[in-house]
Amino acid sequence: MDEVKERFFIKNDDEADWAFEKLAEYKHQSEQLESRRDEFVAKYQQKIDDWYNPQSTSVQDQINYFQGLIEEYRLTKPDGKVNVPSGKTSVRTTKKFIKDENALLAYVESNHPEFIENTSKVKWGDFKKTLKPVNGKAVDENGEIVEGITTQEETKVTYKPNMTVIGLPESEVSDEN
């Protein structure tokens, strides 16, 4: 018959202290693994870059060379286009507007006010400080329910073992779960 192990439960402060020690050990191991991972990523990223960059540069040089040859030829054509079985060129000209925002705004306000936008935005950080959560609703300082806002309770637990008690350095990573 298979043996069924009972799940462990902390029953006193000594067992809780032991659990924090174990938590500290595993968090330390996790940090060490993360550090090693970062070292390997940096090492192999450099190897990948050392392999990729010269090849990419060589290929890009060839692309530029052949595009240059085709461009020189395209410029000799009366219509400025090359259209052959292996490919074609296309030429597209666009107009770009460069704006001086202040001068443009002054002109449009005076001559075309229908194109002026007025944007309203709630100063959420300041407004939030005046609100209180009540039964899933937000209530302002006048006791009125604020439309468009609901509230939700959130519980966040932080587990921070004392690493130095068992001889480990303090953690530098977040302890939130």
Helix (H, G, I), strand (E, B), or coil: what is residue 91? coil
68 HSE (CA, 13 A, CB side): 6
Task: Please name the residue that has the structure tokens 């090492």.
Answer: 43
- CA 47 – CA 49 distance, rounded (Å): 5
Q: Is the pLDDT of residue 29 over 90?
A: yes
- Provide φ and ψ at 13, rounded to 5°: -65, -35
- CA 124 – CA 112 distance, rounded (Å): 32
Q: What is the dihedral of CA 95, 100, 106, 109, to 10 degrees?
A: 40
Closest by CA to 161, choosing from 56, 29, 6, 21, is: 21
- Fill in the DSSP letter of residue 151: -
- CA 82 – CA 91 distance, rounded (Å): 10
Instruction: Tell me the per-residue pLDDT of 66-108, one tens digit each, with 9 for 90 and over.
Output: 999 999 999 898 988 899 888 899 888 777 777 788 888 888 8
- CA 149 – CA 136 distance, rounded (Å): 9
Instruction: Tell me the per-residue pLDDT of 38-76, one tens digit each, with 9 for 90 and over.
Output: 999 988 999 999 999 999 999 999 999 999 999 999 989
Q: Is the pLDDT of residue 173 over 60?
A: no
Q: Taking the model in full, what pTM does it have?
A: 0.44
For residues 138 and 149, is the Cβ–Cβ distance under 8 A? Answer: yes
